[in-house]
Amino acid sequence: MLKLAAKTVAASLILGCTLLPKAFGCASCGSGGDDPLILYPNERDKTFLALGRTSGFRNVNASGGLATAGGPNERENLTLAYGHSFSLRSFATITVPTFRNVGAEDAVSGVGDPLIATRYTILMPDITEPLIPQVQLIASFKPSQARSVHNSKDSKELLDIFGTGFSDARAGIDIWFGQTAQKFGLAQTITQPLTRTYDGVQYRPGLTARSTATTGYQWTSAVKTLIGVNREQNLGLTVDGVHIGSSEQLNHSIFVTQDYYPSVSQLIRFTISKQAAFGANKNTAQSSTFTLAFQRTIRS
C-alpha cells in the first residue's frame, strides 16, 4: 500500500516537472499532417504556429506511374492552432491552415479546412513502468469550407484549391512508448468523408485508414529526433452510387522531425516529409514538405 502511494507521489511529481516532454508525446504528431498540436497533462492551453513549404508535386496514377501534377508548383502554408485541456487526460485543439498556391504566373491565397480534434488518454504513462505505453483515443472532425477540385473556378491552373471538398470524421488510437531515451509509437486512424453533391453529381469518397509507425531518440532534455512512416489507404470514390474502378488510393510517406525546447514552455520543431516516398503508391500525389513550427504552453 505504502509502495503504491510512493509510486503515485513519484508519478505526480514527474507530471509536474520539466521531464514531461520526455515522457509524453504521440506516435502521429510528428507526421506534419493534421492533428499537429498535442497537449501534455499539466498544460492548460497551448498555441501553435507553423510555416511550411511543399514542392516537387507529381501525380501518381492507378498503376503507380508518375505523371504531371495539376495545380501549384509550390504551396506555402501558415497554420495556426490552439489547444485547451479539460483534465489530465483530455484536450481539444482547433487548427486553421492558410495557404498560398504559387503557379507559373501568379499565386492565390486562401484558408483551408479547419480541424477540430480531441484526444483522451486511456492509459497514462507510469515512470516506474517504462514498458507500459501511453494510450490515447483520437476523435476529430474537419468541416469542409475551402474550395476543392470539384468546385474550382480556376479549372485550368487549379490555384484556388485549398481543401478536399468533403467534411470528414476521424477516430483512432495512438500508442506511445516515450519514457526512455529511445522512443517508439504506433497510431491507427480511420477517416470517413461525408457524401456531398456537386453540380447535381453525388460523390461518396471511401473510408481512409492511416497507420503511423514512429521511432525516435531523446538526445538531451531539450533535443529530440523522431522519424516515422505513414501508410494511408483509401477505398476509392463512388459517384452517383457507382463505385469507380481503380480509384482506390495508396500513399506511403516518410517524415523526420527535429524538436528543440528552448524552455519548458516552448518548442521549436522542424519537419521534413515526403508523400508517396516509398513502396507502392496509387492515385495519389508525390511531394516534399518542409515545416517549421513554434509551440507555446500556458501552464495551469
Partner 1 sequence: MKIKGLILVAFMGLTAAHCGDQGNNVTASNGSGSSALNHYTAKLDWQSPLAARTPVSAKLTFLASNGLPAQSVSNIKFNPWMPSMGHGTSTADQRITAVSGTSNEFLVTGIFFSMGGDWEIQLTATVDGTTDQAAIAVSVP
Q: Residue 29 Cβ, how far from partner 1 at the closest point, in Å?
A: 28
Q: Kindly tell me which of 71 and 112 has the beta carbon lying closer to partner 1.
A: 71
Q: Residue 140 Cβ, how far from partner 1 at the closest point, in Å?
A: 24
Q: Please name the residues in contact with 212: beta carbons below 8 A apart, sequence gap of 6 or more.
A: 27, 28, 31, 185, 186, 187, 188, 228, 229, 230
Dist CA 100 CA 125 (whole Å): 40
Q: Kindly tell me which of 16 and 65 has the beta carbon lying closer to partner 1.
A: 65
| Phi, psi for 12 (deg, rounded to 5) | -65, -40
Q: Kindly tell me which of 8 and 61 has the beta carbon lying closer to partner 1.
A: 61
Q: Please name the residues in contact with 97: beta carbons below 8 A apart, sequence gap of 6 or more.
A: 77, 78, 79, 111, 112, 113, 114, 162
Q: Residue 165 Cβ, how far from partner 1 at the closest point, in Å?
A: 9
Q: Kindly tell me which of 160 and 259 has the beta carbon lying closer to partner 1.
A: 160
Q: Residue 146 Cβ, how far from partner 1 at the closest point, in Å?
A: 15
Q: Kindly tell me which of 39 and 159 has the beta carbon lying closer to partner 1.
A: 159
Rounded (10°) CA dihedral 159, 165, 167, 169: -80
Q: Residue 60 Cβ, how far from partner 1 at the closest point, in Å?
A: 8
Report the interface residues with partner 1, using CB under 8 A: 59, 61-71, 149-150, 155-158, 201, 203, 236-237, 239, 244-247, 249, 279-281, 283
Q: Kindly tell me which of 159 and 187 has the beta carbon lying closer to partner 1.
A: 159
Q: Residue 12 Cβ, how far from partner 1 at the closest point, in Å?
A: 51
Q: Kindly tell me which of 179 and 275 has the beta carbon lying closer to partner 1.
A: 275
Q: Sheet containing 242-243: which strands, arranged edge to edge?
A: 196-198, 201-205, 237-239, 242-243
Q: Residue 98 Cβ, how far from partner 1 at the closest point, in Å?
A: 23
Q: Is 300 exposed, middle or buried (0-12, 13-18, 19+ CB in 10 A)?
A: exposed
User: Do 234 and 205 contact (CB within 8 A), yes or no?
Assistant: yes
* Closest alpha carbon to 293 in 20, 29, 41: 29
